Each structure stands twice: as structure tokens, then as C-alpha cells.
Structure 1
Amino acid sequence: MPLIYKCNHCGNQVGELHQKVVDTKSLGWHELSEQEKREMIQYQDNGDIHIQTICENCQESLEHNPHYHELDYFIQ
């Protein structure tokens, strides 16, 4: 079951893990609230798991432009 990490802002794929068994504690999912899990983790019909994250470029843009946090989308 592939775990596919995608940037929530630009949509670029950040990484991919191929695991038969997923240890959610080692991935840090236990640190997320139930709402955060619903927002960030999507289970696909084909067995893939898509995880919303942030890429380095978008993180850097947010650090240099803090007002971007107010916007739903800052990549156009």
C-alpha cells in the first residue's frame, strides 16, 4: 500500500513510501487530532493513502510571507 505525500499548497508529490504494514506511530499520526487526520489523510479505493503535507518551497514562501497564512491558496 503506497503512502503518497503531496503538498497541500502546490500539489507536488513530496515523497512516497511502499509498505505492506504501516506503523502509524512511527509516522507520527498519533500526534494528530481526529480532525487533523480527517483533513490530512485520505484513503483511496485502490488502497493508496494520500497524506497532505507541505513541501520545502511552500514552507519557505510562508516563512517569507506570513500574510499568506490568511489565504486559502497562495500558489497561482
Structure 2
Amino acid sequence: MSIVYKCRHCGHVIGEINQQVVDTSILGWNKLTNEEKREMIQYKSNGDVQIQAICENCEESLGHHPEYHELDFFIQ
């Protein structure tokens, strides 16, 4: 099982955790609301878990262009 952090905007893999057992409270999942969990966490058929996050480059772009927050995808 892998936990893969992927940018929701550009698709870049930010990081990956390859562990059989992971304490999700250490990852902060317990601080997410149920809605945030539904939006961010996807369970794949191969057993992997994909987390939708934002990479540093996209975060910087959002900082320079706040109007991009209104868009689901701002990178074409």
C-alpha cells in the first residue's frame, strides 16, 4: 500500500509513503472534516490511497493570482 500525495491542479506527485501500516492521525487526517476527506482522499483499486493536495508551484501561482481559487483547474 502506498499513500500518494498528488497536486490537484497540475497532477505532479508531491510525495509518497510506502508503508503497510500508517497511523493516519500522524498525517493529520483526523483533523479533516468528512467533506474534506471526501474531496481529498481517494482509495484506488490496487490498495493505494491518493491524497489531493497543492504543490508549491501551484500554491505560489494561487498567491499571485487569487482569482484562480474560483477554478477547479487553472493549468491547461
Range into which the TM-score falls when normalised by the shorter chain: over 0.9
Q: Which residue of 1 aligns with 2:17?
A: 17
CA–CA distance in 1 between the matches of 2:20 and 2:13? 20
Residue in 1 aligned with 2:5?
Answer: 5
Question: Stretches of 4+ moved more than 4 A in 1?
Answer: none
Question: Is 1:64 matched up with 2:70?
Answer: no
Distance in 2 between the 1:5 and 1:12 partners?
A: 9
Which residue number in structure 2 is paired with residue 55 of structure 1?
Answer: 55
Question: Per-residue CA shift, 1:17-65, capped at 9, x if unaligned?
Answer: 0011110100000110001101100111111000000000000000011
- Structure 1: gaps spanning 5 or more residues: none
1:28: which partner in 2? 28
- Aligned-residue Cα RMSD (Å) equals 0.7
Equivalent residues, number: 76
TM-score normalised according to structure 2 size: 0.96
Partner secondary structure for residue 51 of structure 1: strand
1:46 alignment counterpart: 46
TM-score computed with the length of structure 1 as normaliser: 0.96
